[in-house]
Amino acid sequence: MIKEKFGVKRISISGSFAGGEEKAGSDIDVLVEFDETKITFDNYMDLKFYLEDLFKREVDLVIESSIKPRLKDNITREVVYA
């Protein structure tokens, strides 16, 4: 559903939820890779709002290709792909 509706090629969680260390107020860190034709601001925001409604939590949505190279290894080491 998410992949088709939003043109998602790959989606994963990272951070406290991926490691099972979330707290009551934790947001959910989500990494996403979009199909090239779906990388638009509107589509990004639509997916963010959809996920926040789904999980009833704030979502920190990050496009995987926008991660700075020096941070990428640390972030992608702990991801859990859907």
Domain with 12 in it: 2-81
Contact 13, 29 (CB under 8 A): yes
Residue pLDDT, tens place only, 2-61: 999 999 999 999 888 888 888 999 999 999 999 999 999 999 999 999 999 999 999 999
Angle at CA of residue 78, ends 24 and 80, nearest 5°:
80
Per the structure, the count of domains in the chain is 1
User: What is the Cα–Cα distance from 44 to 42, expressed in whole angstroms?
Assistant: 5
pTM value is 0.85
- CATH code for the domain of 19: 3.30.460.10
